[in-house]
Amino acid sequence: MIINKNTSKVLKNTEIDVKHKLSSLWLVFMMLYIYTDFYKLYMPGKIQDMLSGVMDGGVKVTQVSLLAVAIITIIPAFMIFLSLVVSAKVNRWLNIILGILHITIGVVNLIGATWAYYIFYGISLTLIAILIVVYAWKWPNLEG
């Protein structure tokens, strides 16, 4: 019996459904969001600002300001699930609209940023949001 040891294995590259791609991108987005805010606590003065009731940009902490932050930051968490279960047409537009919203937020957050880690995370988050919009925009149709 002859065994050919030079045979190379050809790996199958399976197509991933756009819903799974979008869900995964939202998951990565959410995790980076969390890491960014966690590491921000190490910046000098941030904990003192929190204790004195002041958010970034000198915004006073109120029920309204925290509700606004909650709405913005809960979107990626919901989109992880919604990207998998909502109909394609609604899903596509949800991802485009909410992706553009987070691109805008990412760009605004980068204005005036001076810490390298924050700029790195901010650019990463913005690029992931751009990928979300691109994948949703190029959503394959039945003919294609």
Domain that holds residue 98: 18-36+51-137
Number of structural domains the chain divides into: 1
Model pLDDT, residue 142: 74
Is residue 27 assigned to a domain?
yes
Instruction: Please count the other Cβ atoms lying within 10 Å of the Cβ belonging to residue 78.
Output: 13
Does residue 103 sit within a domain? yes
Whether 64 is covered by a domain: the verdict is yes
Q: Tell me: the pLDDT tens digits for 60-93?
A: 999 999 999 999 999 999 999 999 999 999 999 9
Give the chain's largest Cα–Cα span.
79
Residue 144 belongs to a domain: no
**DSSP single-letter state for residue 11:** P
Question: What is this structure's pTM?
Answer: 0.87
Residue 109 lies in a domain: yes
pLDDT tens digits, 30-53: 999 999 999 999 999 999 999 999
Q: Flag whether 1 is in a domain.
A: no
The one-letter amino acid at 26 = W
Kindly report the average pLDDT of the chain as a whole number.
Answer: 93
Q: How many CB atoms lie within 10 A of CB 111?
A: 8
Residue 142 falls within a domain, yes or no? no
Residue 12 maps to a domain: no
